[in-house]
Chain A
Amino acid sequence: MADQTLKEWLLTDTPTSRRHAKLSALYTGWLTFRSNTMAMIGLGILVLLIVIAAAAPILSPHDPFVQDLGNRLAPLGTEGHIFGTDSLGRDILSRLIYGARITLYIVALVALIAPVAGLLVGTVSGYAGGWVDVVLMRITDIFLAFPRLVLALAFVAALGAGIENAVLAISLTAWPPYARIARAETLTIRSSDYIAAIRLQGAGALRIITKHIWPLCISSLIVRVTLDMAGIILAAAGLGFLGLGAQPPSPEWGAMISEGRRFILDHWWVATMPGLAIFTVSLAFNLLGDGLRDVLDPKAGE
């Protein structure tokens, strides 16, 4: 151990313990991921986004809610307002910085709710088989057949506008693909020998699903979630733009575009800046997702 560097220890062919093997696999995956420049750029942008969101009060030059009607619609590069001000004289840069928090909040919630719901439905459906499978998959098909944005619109209409309801609406439309993936994985795992062995040892369905099937579904779900994040951000921004997501004066990026829309021809920066922010973040998620797929699920690429 003494004459071995950490790197050698991580890359060894003969791991000494389970944890050692796990760490070693993680490190090899990281090396593959690191060689993908685009994915690293995506990761960099997202790390930056998280830092910005966490340090919003320190980083933002102004209070995002304070209006200054004497200084409304100031152009780009104005003294003290690099990105200009909006129709109520609020600093656009500060609002973008605080908006990062809302975006991350929405993404994190949807990324928690939808895959977990899909995982539950998919594994139960795949493991139980029979009529349970038929019914659950039929429901999944119905939700898949629905146009997502229109369904989300109708849900928000029923629940009322607001961030939490937008999250719920997006999750309700986002879970079916996860259920499909989880079911497919479960079907292949279910018939494998080691599951039979565990069953002979007396393990119940609950134990088999939670301890032996779920861990194996996770990696394909993670890839899919990362690739879906961009879509989730765009859907949330779309709902915000329609006035059905975050409500004013919240600095949600989609809502900011909607505010700036009225001035697009004369004061273009008001709508342009939040749009660039949305684009950058969803691009970063797409890049990261592509890179993760190459590491975790090499068969799916190309």
Chain B
Amino acid sequence: MTDNNGEGRLSLPPWIKTTVLTIGSIAVTMLGLLFITFIIGRVMPIDPVLAIVGERASQSTYDAVYLELGLDKPLVVQFLYYLWDVLHLDFGTSLLNARPVSEDIARVFPATLELATLGIFIGIVLGVPLGVLAAVRKGSWIDQIARVLALVGYSMPIFWLGLMGLLIFYGILGWVGGPGRVGIFYVDVVPSVTGLILVDAAIDGNWNVFKDAFSHIILPASLLGYFSLAYISRMTRSFMLEQLSAEYVTTARVKGMSEWDVVWKHAFKNIRVQLITVIALSYANLLEGSVLTEIIFSWPGIGSYITTALLSADMNAVLGGTVVVGLIFILLNIFSDLLYKVFDPRAR
């Protein structure tokens, strides 16, 4: 992410330069993100003043709100106001329920976090061993299965697979709970401490709620897990293939080391950093992929929040949600980038 063009005239230690450049590029990326959402908000065919005062307001009320929103100022000044508000986590008030958007987002976000975290967990636990096995037994039936699983994952509309999952596992087999986070009898039974319902139920010691919540989350989480599995297993496989063809692996084998030790203690050790980068990236993608999944499963997370707001033309909520998802996405990207630089000496 850093561009090193031209020698610096000041001879600062290289790490200071790198840090400054990294922070600079993060700042520029975030500014860009906010600028895009700002522009989207401005070209929106919805009059923000009308949305607040209503159609029957008098001209003087209209003008007052117009001035209050700063719409008479130049666009640059409006953008600076917008930046100032976002810096204070103020995304305006929702037009639907007249509450601050930031409060709404804080309320719905844990649901998405819980879903995506369980999803990535499933993706890692199944995807990494599958990728390693596929690389070790390249060309075998397990490699073929991994290949097909990934190919199907890349080609499948996630919302459709979710519907089919609901149909089969909920409608026909009755193995899992239906849409929503908990069954109707368990809504608001446990006090919300973390907002993560599994954790809250465990804290409260209410295992009935825990079981019910688990039966609701397992299907959407497995679904997201499958999509990250497709990506993680493919990447693990290609990283491992690269290591297994290296000379140190041959040396280890010649020395008579067991295959298990060669694979896990030597080759796998060397792909850990790359793997964490991939996992961070697919976690970011999961947050995004949860938008469609949440709608299928009536999951009250940020994806449902953004789309509901979208369909009712609640612009503050849409833009607030977009900014939050975008910022998290960028932070995860940067985090994986940094991790790579810190732990992999070759990348320094």
Contacts and interface: CB of A to CB of B under 8 A. Distances in A.
Interface string B256-292: 0000000000000000000000000000110111011
Contact of A147 (B41, B284, B311): B284
A244 B157 CA distance: 16
Contacts of B288: 147-150
B108 to A, nearest CB: 14
6 cross-chain pairs, A with B, having the tightest CB-CB distances, nearest first: A142-B32, A275-B160, A283-B155, A147-B288, A282-B155, A265-B171
B1 interface: yes
Nearest to B313: A157
Contact of B160 (A150, A278, A286): A278
Contacts of A148: 288
Contacts of A142: 28-29, 32-33, 36
Interface in B120-174: 151-152, 154-161, 163-164, 166-167, 171
A278 B156 CA distance: 8
Interface in B279-334: 284-285, 287-289, 291-292, 295-296, 306-307, 310-311, 315, 318-319, 321-322, 325-326, 329-330, 333
A286 B166 contact: no
Q: Which of B45, B238, B325 counts the most chain A CB atoms within 10 A? A: B325
Given A157-B315, A271-B160, 17 more contacts: A141-B25, A145-B29, A145-B329, A145-B333, A147-B288, A150-B306, A150-B321, A150-B326, A153-B307, A153-B318, A158-B44, A264-B167, A264-B171, A265-B171, A275-B163, A279-B156, A302-B241
Given A154-B40, A238-B292, A286-B151, A141 B29 contact: yes
A268 B167 contact: yes
Contact of A241 (B33, B167, B292): B292
B87 interface: no
Interface in A232-274: 234, 237-238, 241-244, 254, 257, 261, 264-265, 268, 271-272
Contacts of B325: 147, 150
Contacts of A145: 29, 32-33, 326, 329-330, 333
A261 B163 contact: yes
Contact of B43 (A158, A244, A268, A279): A158
B55 interface: no
Interface string B29-66: 10011001100110111000000000000000000000
Interface string A132-143: 001001110110
B154 A257 contact: no
Interface string A59-92: 0000000000000000000000000000000000
A247 B333 CA distance: 35
Contacts of B43: 158-159
B97 interface: no
Interface of A: 134, 137-139, 141-142, 145-151, 153-155, 157-160, 230, 234, 237-238, 241-244, 254, 257, 261, 264-265, 268, 271-272, 275, 278-279, 282-283, 285-287, 302
B163 A154 contact: no
A238 B326 contact: no
30 contacts: A134-B5, A137-B3, A138-B29, A139-B32, A141-B1, A141-B32, A142-B32, A145-B326, A149-B288, A153-B307, A153-B318, A154-B322, A157-B310, A157-B315, A158-B41, A159-B43, A160-B45, A238-B159, A242-B295, A243-B311, A264-B163, A265-B167, A272-B167, A275-B157, A279-B156, A279-B160, A282-B156, A283-B152, A286-B155, A302-B238
Nearest to B171: A265
Nearest to B154: A286
Given A149-B288, A283-B152, A158 B40 contact: yes
B291 A146 contact: no
Interface residues of B, number: 55
Nearest to B1: A141
A167 B66 CA distance: 34
B171 A275 contact: no
B151 A154 contact: no
A139 B160 CA distance: 34
B299 to A, nearest CB: 15
Q: Which of A142, A242, A285 counts the most chain B CB atoms within 10 A? A: A142
Contacts of A138: 25, 28-29, 32
Contacts of A150: 288, 291, 306, 321-322, 325-326
A241 B296 CA distance: 10
A283 B171 CA distance: 27
A282 to B, nearest CB: 4
A2 to B, nearest CB: 46
A275 B163 CA distance: 10
Given A149-B291, A157-B44, A257 B160 contact: yes
A254 B291 CA distance: 15
B38 to A, nearest CB: 11
Contacts of A285: 155
B157 A254 contact: yes
Nearest to A230: B155
Nearest to B45: A160
Contacts of A268: 167, 171
Contacts of A279: 155-157, 160
A286 B230 CA distance: 14
A148 B36 CA distance: 13
Contacts of A265: 166-167, 171
B284 to A, nearest CB: 7
A157 to B, nearest CB: 5
B157 A146 contact: no
Contact of B159 (A241, A283, A287): A241
B21 to A, nearest CB: 12
